[in-house]
Amino acid sequence: MDEKNQVRQFIYSNSSISTENGQHLYYIKTSKWPSSRPDVALHFGSNKNSPTVAVCDFGKWSGDKIALGDPGKTGLKWAPFERHSTFSPEYQWSFNVPGVGQQTFSWKRTHSEGIDGHKPSGFSSGNYKMVETRTKRVIAVYNNGGGVFSGRSKKFQINVNYGRDFDSLVLLTGCAMLEKARRNASRGAAAGAAGGGAAGGAAGGGGFVPYQSLTVGIPRETFPNERRVAITPQNVALLLKKGFSRVLIESGAGAEAQFTDEAYRKAGAIIVERDVVWSQSDILLKVRAPSIEDGTKNEVNLMRNGATIISFLYPAQNKPVVEALAGRGITSFAMDKIPRISRAQVFDALRIVDDQFNGQYCWIPPSKVLVIGAGVAGLSAIGAARRNGAIVRAFDTRPAAREQVQSLGAEFIEVDLEEDGSGQGGYAKEMSKEFIEAEMKLFMEQCREVDIVITTALIPGRPAPKLITKEMVHAMKPGSVIVDLAAEAGGNCEATVPGELAIYDGVKVIGYTDLPSRLPTQSSTLYSNNITKFLLSLADKDKGFNVDLNDEVTRGAIVSFNGEILPPPPPPTPPPTPTAGTVQAQAKEVKAVEVTPWQKATRQVATVTAGMGSALALGKLTGPAFMGNMFTFGLAGLVGYRAVWGVVPALHSPLMSVTNAISGMVGIGGLFVMGGGYLPTTIPEALGALSVLLAFVNVSGGFVITKRMLDMFKRPTDPPEYPWLYAIPGVIFGGGYIAAASTGSISGLASQLTARRGNILGILGVSSGFLASLLAVGFSPATLVQFGAVAGLGGLLGAVIGRRITPTGLPQTVAALHSVVGLAAVLTSIGSVMAEIAHVSTLHMVTAYLGVLIGGVTFTGSIVAFLKLAGRMKSTPTILPGRHVINSSLLGANIATMSAFVTMAPGAPVIAATCLGANTVLSFLKGYTTTAAIGGADMPVVITVLNAYSGFALVAEGFMLDNPLLTTVGSLIGCVAMNRSLTNVLFGGIAPIQASKKIEGEVVTTSVDETVDALASAENVIIVVGYGMAVAKAQYAISEITKMLRSKGVNVRFAIHPVAGRMPGQCNVLLAEASVPYDIVLEMDEINDDFNDTDVTLVIGANDTVNPIALEPDSPISGMPVLQAWKSKEVIVMKRGMSSGYADVPNPMFYMDNTKMLFGDAKSSCDAIKSALESRK
């Protein structure tokens, strides 16, 4: 616990301290004094004639003025200064706080005409309105004229000498008038509203009350067998961080739930006795409703008038409690009345508590189970019973529950009558007499069959309905069980005894009302989250408590307000009644879109007929081989899409590498063109050999890189693996194993546990593919030697590249390998046509032409991506004048040459070579113009798209060679992660920066020591890494920093943007290389909501991915999702300088008030931080 909390705890634990002058010292905390609520009085002396002076220590001035309020409006009656002569010049109190030391407080009287040269004016006799001062932590109150001070202005000065910067410290001595002053003040502020609490003032018409003026209290639960507590230490800390003045916890409140007083103290709470919690809290948080028993157990009477309470109230069953609360002007909220809407799910304690028992209660052997009420509790019971093999039937009056019940594998039973039991707020309503009679008949039939009945039916505002009669219980088999989860509201079974386990005719009826309290720690934690979030939702943008009756959730949960019991909230407002003209127009519109069953059926038949007719015509025009390949392509595309979509973002880099390696199967096409013996004898044979060489560079390099990356994710605790065993299925199944292994390779990357196995499957698939193709071609021994030579050379080159590449150079290497695939596709397609030009088919020519086109775009596009990623070309978009016209012209030229090629090339090698050459040049140009126009920020997306292009080149070869093995796996994950469409990336680019856009603010620098202080004193730290970490090779130092901070109890996590670095998943690979546990490395969607509760966010080498300008609609990177690091309490950014990021867009976060810049090399800075942390061990 820090010194501030130690002092605060000591004073509250010793509520009165004798001093040398016979006075009593009391302590009140407030950090702001709203002019509408002077709630603290300083009272010297011990009798009613002693003077009372209002006093407040602001910590921060509002300008140069302190507004004390007008006593005539606030209702606070100031006592006269009649006994001034009895005051000594100075009073002083001292006491020792354990662990902090001696603390001294003093009061003295001085004479002056003003403060800092400002003479007070405008004061009428006996009133104290305004004081001007520039002296911090000196509070002065004037009395001008009248009484003993007539003729001169006098100043009473309170000096608070405590040596520590306690932002809001106020002394109170002889506090006999405190409560009266608070009550009178708040009555005036509420302008007629009942009550005197600050929260009550806000609720009663006083409006917004800042959190720093509010005290939250949590008393110990006194309800029999209730072991829960309303709030946990974790949420105590959250409330204090949000700005609440203090949190008072009754001593021992959390003992039954395993939360000690010391745990609450460490979280910043103040442990006090029972009466203090009830009397000094503005807002009380409870589990059960307050008691109204006679005597000291009456908790409602202990509360301050006008306070606020939030708890389970069940107002329909506890009307006396609600009336007592309203009589005291207390604002009350019922957790059990929170509407069941999407926004309120995080507050819905009933829903959360019911969910808690899913899998913990209702464990049953296989049996027949009837669940009555398919709400949250009912659905949880269904799920638990189904997992244990039970036959489950469920009943609910709401038709909407049918689908939920059936989705869990249970049978939905219903009565013959049609009646909707859906009520307001997601609950059920009371049903008609006829329906109930039919319902009872159904239940009797079920009770004769089932072994277990679980009832959960509740109707808001009414006792639980009786659904299981004693006759039904009697009809059940001996040993059967009824679990009545509505027992606390009276029970759904007539044989239920609330709070007990009853046995009726051999049937056990469980009516426990304390099921949540049987797991008090878990229940308290869940309930604490609910009630804390609900309390924080009762706020406005200024972070203050405010009751807004126009808010749907607030209005649904509030029970008493402003001294009155509020009626249930009205039903949702129906849409406005349309005018006659609107009704007619709508009727016409509905009639126009209405489809009869005949029309629906005929349209479906027409669609199927058109599809089958197209397939028939395509088959007639092409042949069975083409159609087989077409069906293979369609199926493989669907399988590949689902496989790629399931890959976690952390493994996108291995995904790019393994799919790139699989794309190396484009070399199989070159294999079919090879020939000539030991050396090629013709140009097509040479092109085929070169294609195989390039393909094996790609295959070998891709798989080696993938294995190296995946090995970085391997943990020492992972079980041993036996990859050599996978050669067995490769040998046995041969070619038939290829397609499955290639798809399995990609699917294996769906998780860390299966990723390395997926890489092995990919190697098996590609190896088997080449082997099967070799057997199909039937090469001569000499040609086999040629193949072995080029394949071996290519494989060796690829392996060398794969072993030498570092994770930092991974993106540009993958781009370079993509270009190899593209060039191989071009060479294979040209060689295949030229080798058979005399009798080449039209389909062969079309697919070969497309192979050249796609391969050429992939080749030059990948080269441009490589140059940009390697820093050898500017990352800014290269926008050619009229680029869209240029691209359209290039495409038109492609179409023209294709037409000439298809019609004139057969039997004419020169024309074929000319058309294919022109197509190659045009595709090369198109690849450059398209990729160069894309900015650096979109290069991760470009890599993904080019990877897909290489796959489509593979498809073209498959059609060209009538080989169903050569199919594609495409990926659009990068575009989805960037929240930008593929069309926008390829043809839109980055919007120009608006010259008029100016970033305001100043850059604040920090040092390594200050950074270490911030990290060491934080509770929650998020580290955001980017490509700068890769360049500086700082991941190892970052890993050590993480270990040291976590050993000190700091919650350290990493936030990774889907395209952080130069390639999706690159930063994940770098952190895995440094042995950072991947379970603390979270994706953007998993961690973005946690920045608000983060003490320090450390940004290392990231820029565009944390740029708030992306949220502005007119910004250059508008629409790109970003990590919202600026929402943290403190942001520390490591950068070499103030240069823009890869997208060349300025970052306003660097100029924000909560951001500090730590300039320098990331590795040097991280090493310095690591050394400083080590020295503090």
- The identity of residue 499, as a single letter, is G
User: Facing residues of 155 across strands?
Assistant: 110, 142
- Using CA atoms, how far residue 425 sits from 1, 338, 353, 861, in Å, is 43, 8, 18, 56
The answer to whether the beta carbons of residues 841 and 850 sit under 8 Å apart is no
And the tokens for 710? 């995946």
Strands (E), 206-317: 209-210, 215-218, 246-250, 270-272, 283-285, 308-311
- Identify any residues that bridge with 183 across adjacent strands, giving them in sequence order: none
The encoded tokens of residue 208 equal 């917004």
- Short-list 893, 969, 959, 945, CA closest to 924: 893
Residue 361: active-site member? no
Name every residue whose Cβ is closer than 8 Å to that of residue 17 and which is 6 or more positions away in sequence. Answer: 24, 25, 93, 95
- Strand residue runs (E) in 312-461: 331-334, 368-372, 391-395, 411-412, 452-455
Report the 10 Å Cβ neighbour count for 60: 9
Give Rg (Cα) of the chain. Answer: 38
- What backbone torsions phi and psi does residue 1159 show, to the nearest 5 degrees? -80, 145
Q: What is the DSSP letter of 422?
A: B
Catalytic position from the list 314, 949, 1027, 1078: 1027
Do residues 309 and 332 touch, judged by C-beta distance below 8 A?
yes
DSSP E strands, 382-434: 391-395, 411-412
CA dihedral 613, 619, 624, 628 (to 10 degrees): -70
Q: Which of 37, 849, 1062, 1078 is catalytic?
A: 1062
The answer to whether the CB of 1157 falls within 8 A of the CB of 1004 is: yes
List, in sequence order, every residue forming a beta bridge with 156; answer none if it has no partner: 109, 141
Q: Which of 482, 421, 485 is nearest to 451 (CA)?
A: 482
How far apart are the C-alpha atoms of 438 and 419, rounded to whole Å? 11
CB burial readout 504-533, b (16+ within 10 A) else e? beebbbbbbbbbbbebbbbbbbbbbbbbbe
- In this structure, the dihedral spanned by the alpha carbons of residues 380, 381, 384 and 390, taken in order and rounded to 10 degrees, is -140
Q: Helix 520-537 and helix 233-242: axis angle, to 10°?
A: 10
In the annotation, is 512 catalytic? no
d(CA 592, CA 587): 9
From residue 1145, give the alpha-carbon distance in Å to each of 260, 682, 1102, 1118.
51, 53, 13, 11
Query: What is the spatial distance between Cα 443 and Cα 451, in angstroms, rounded to a whole number?
Result: 13
Hunting for tokens 């009895």 — which residue is that? Answer: 86
Q: Is 1062 an active-site residue?
A: yes
DSSP notation for 1147-1170: -GGGGSTTEEEEES-HHHHHHHHH
Dihedral sign (CA 287, 289, 294, 298): positive
**What distance lies between CA 121 and its chain's CA centroid?**
56
User: What are the φ and ψ backbone dihedral angles of 1066, each rounded to 5 degrees?
Assistant: -65, -40
* DSSP codes of every residue in 112-134: -S-BTTB----PPTT---EEE--
Closest CA relative to residue 558, chosen from 309, 908, 850: 309
User: Contact, 1014 vs 1096, CB < 8 A?
Assistant: yes
Q: Which residues are tagged catalytic?
A: 1027, 1062, 1142
